[in-house]
Amino acid sequence: MESKGEIDAGITENIPGLCRALNNSAAALLESLAPQNISSEHLDDLTLLTFGPQLRGSRNVEIGVNAVQEVFEVIKEIVGPHANHIGAALMILVDATGRQIEIKFSSDPDIEIVTVGQGQKRDPLLAVEVKGGTDLSNAHNRLGEAEKSHLKAKAKGFTDLWTIVNVKGLSDPDRKAESPTTTAFFRFGRPNCP
């Protein structure tokens, strides 16, 4: 389901029963706790319930970091021959008008492209968010994260705000609904991407 965004026909009939069982378990847990007895120890114990999502979350971070690195490599292939400097997180080149262009890789946004003028004044050109996950089930959350990052970039003065998303099957209206600040969407199709 995570990779295709579809429930397999063989298990569709079991979904209502699964939902009832999960809801009943959650209700039993909540009913067993009197509000006045809830302590910080109870809340600490609840972290055991979230251990699986935490592991999944760390894997999602790894996917994101790898996707940004792949985009870095593509940009390096394009601008590398013209760059004056290529570092681990910064590329510097000079455009045809003599302006210095910095391509910086960090977070919030993942990529910032600015011009450096007189007195080292930086003028924002382009902010790019890279969302590398391929599972459709979490695509809306990732686009929401891109939107938050773009709002921060917009506050810094960026007007071109791109989102690179690696999920097939998202419609333009879906993408725009989740990240209305994005000015252009791109899909980064890796060779092994489903």
Instruction: Give per-residue pLDDT as tens, 106-117.
Output: 888 999 999 998
Burial class from Cβ neighbours inside 10 Å (0-12, 13-18, 19+) for residue 6 reads exposed
- What average pLDDT does this structure show over 7-27? 82
Query: Does residue 95 have a pLDDT over 90?
Result: no
Q: Is 118 left (phi over 0), alpha (psi -120 to 50) or beta?
A: beta
Query: Does residue 54 have a pLDDT over 80?
Result: no
Q: Count other Cβ atoms within 10 Å, centred on residue 189.
A: 10
Can you tell me whether residue 127 is helix, strand or coil? Answer: strand
**The two structure tokens encoding residue 46:** 């609840």
pLDDT value at position 52? 55
φ and ψ of 104, to 5 deg: -110, 135
| pTM for the model | 0.67
pLDDT value at position 56? 59
At residue 8's C-alpha, the angle toward residues 7 and 12, to 5°, is 70
Delineate the domains of the chain, giving CATH numbers in brackets.
64-187 (3.40.1350)
| CA separation for the pair 170, 166 (Å, rounded) | 10
Query: Does residue 55 have a pLDDT over 60?
Result: no
Residue found by looking up tokens 């990779």 in the block: 3
pLDDT in tens, 170-185: 788 888 888 999 999 9
Full DSSP string of 83-107: EEEE-SSEEEEE-TTS-EEEEEE-S
